[in-house]
Amino acid sequence: MNSVAVFCGSSLGASDAYREGAILLGKELAKRQITLIYGGASVGIMATVANTVLQEGGKVIGVIPTLLEEREIAHQHLTELIVVNTMHERKSKMMELADGFIALPGGPGTLEEFFEVFTWNQIGLLQKPCAIFNMEGYFDLLISFFDHMQNEQFLKAQNREALIVAEDAATLLDKCESFVAPAVKTYELSK
């Protein structure tokens, strides 16, 4: 795995643990020489993980749409900053550049980005690890909801099992590096 896209908040959140977790992930990415692909901002958890990777000698590629370039204050000290026209182009570019995806604490935008790559994995458009860094139990309710979706037969067991969840950065990346994509279900129409 050469690169990982991280989806996370443009704010720091209520707990210092989120910032500390982002720092640990950034250090682990740099140590493993895994390029960080992220939203390109110089604020929030986004900036924390990017700055840490850079401080540890790693590579960081930011992808930011023109709409957010000024609002989120585009990071000017990255290995590379790619400015795109739309949010759709941002996600598309991040999916293209990344070998895997990790969600850190964030809001609706973080979840929307993560759900898209998870869904694309389910239907076979992607075959890349999708992981949740569940620091401080931030994603406990979401993980329970994934279990609920499986129990109610709206999520296949193989797809639920493909969701990587860990509470520390090293374990999370180990699981991403050993990821094997599940077979894609095909449906036959009855005649």
149-166 per-position pLDDT tens digit? 999 999 999 999 999 999
Q: Please give the share of the chain, as a percent, with pLDDT higher than 90.
A: 86
3-class secondary-structure state, position 98 = coil
Give 102's strand partners: 6, 131
Q: Taking the model in full, what pTM does it have?
A: 0.93
Residue pair 5/100 in contact by the 8 Å Cβ criterion = yes
Whole-number Å distance between alpha carbons of 18 and 134: 10
pLDDT digits (tens, 9 = 90+) for 49-95: 999 999 999 999 999 999 887 776 888 999 999 999 999 999 999 99
Question: Tokens 């850190």, residue?
Answer: 104
Question: Kindly report the CA angle at 103 between 100 and 106, in degrees rounded to 5?
Answer: 155
Strands, DSSP E only, in the chain?
3-7, 35-38, 60-65, 80-84, 101-103, 130-133, 163-166
pLDDT digits (tens, 9 = 90+) for 106-152: 999 999 999 999 999 999 899 999 999 999 999 999 999 999 999 99
3-class secondary-structure state, position 136 = helix
Beta strands 80-84 and 101-103 are unpaired
Question: Kindly report the CA angle at 57 between 54 and 59, in degrees rounded to 5?
Answer: 60
> Which domains does the chain possess?
1-171 (3.40.50.450)
For all residues of the chain together, what is the average pLDDT? 93
